[in-house]
Amino acid sequence: MLLLGVGVFFGLIGTIYWFTAYEDGGTMMLVGTCLLGLLPGSYYFYWHRRMPVRPEDRDDATMEDGAGTIDSFPGSSIWPFVIGMSAFLITMGLVFGFWLALPGVGLLLTALAGVTAESRRGGTV
């Protein structure tokens, strides 16, 4: 509902701005923001209509209502660090020359393979 509100608000402001300012850049940004609210907002609304109320949204829920598995969480993982380093090498490669980006791309591919394998072994991301 919050995101739908974002969408409607920026739709409104965008319209006002379009008719008063005659300026393209700002109008496009406001339209983009409107869509940013509407897209996930309507997705949530769709599921909100079709799901029972979750324990975390009920006033009187007890902890037992939430019993069961919440989710699987990775305990630790080296791959975010590797992806971070590869992102660093690739962006610096854009500045200093593409030779620097090559090991970055290699690391990135390794890390993507690693993180996928890790997810397969141990539940959801």
Partner 1 sequence: MTDVITPPATSGGIDLPDEHAPVAAHGHEEHGPSGLLKWLTSTDHKVIGMSYMITSLVLFYVAGIMALIIRLQLASPNSSLVDFQQYNQLFTMHGSLMLYLFAGPFAFGGLANYIVPLQIGAPDMAFPRLNALSYWLYLTGSIAMMSSFLVAGGAPSFGWVSYAPLSNATNSPGAGGDMWIMAIALTGFSAIFTGVNLVATIFYLRAPGMTMFRMPIFTWNMLVTALLILIAFPVLTSALIMLFCDRHFGTHIYSVVGGGSPILWQNLFWFFGHPEVYILALPYFGIVTEVLPVFSRKPVFGYKGMVFATMAIAALSTGVWAHHMFTTGAVLLPFFSLLTLLIAVPTGIKFFNWIGTMWRGQLQMTTAMLFCIGFLFVFLIGGITGVMLGSPPIDFFVHDTYFVVAHFHNVLIGTAVFAGFAGIYYWYPKMFGRMLDERLGKWHFWLLFIGFWITFMPQYVLGLKGMPRRVAVYPDNLGWQIYNQISTVGAFIIAASFAIMLWNLWISWRRPVLAGDNPWDAHTLEWFTTSPPPHHNYTHLPPIRSERPTWDANHPDAPALEHGHPRQSPNGSRKGGERKVGTH
Binder to partner 1 among 39, 42, 91, 106 (CB under 8 A)?
91
Lay out the site mask for partner 1 across 39-78 (x = CB under 8 A, - = otherwise).
Answer: -----x----------xxxxxxxxxxxxxxxxxxxxxxxx
Q: How far apart are CA 75 and CA 66, in angstroms?
A: 22
115-120 long-range contacts, CB within 8 A, separation 24+: 115/77, 115/79, 115/83, 118/74, 118/77, 118/79
Binding residues for partner 1, rule: CB under 8 A, are 2-3, 5-6, 9-10, 13, 16-17, 20-21, 23, 25-26, 29-30, 33, 36, 44, 55-81, 83-85, 87-88, 91-92, 94-96, 115, 121-123, 125
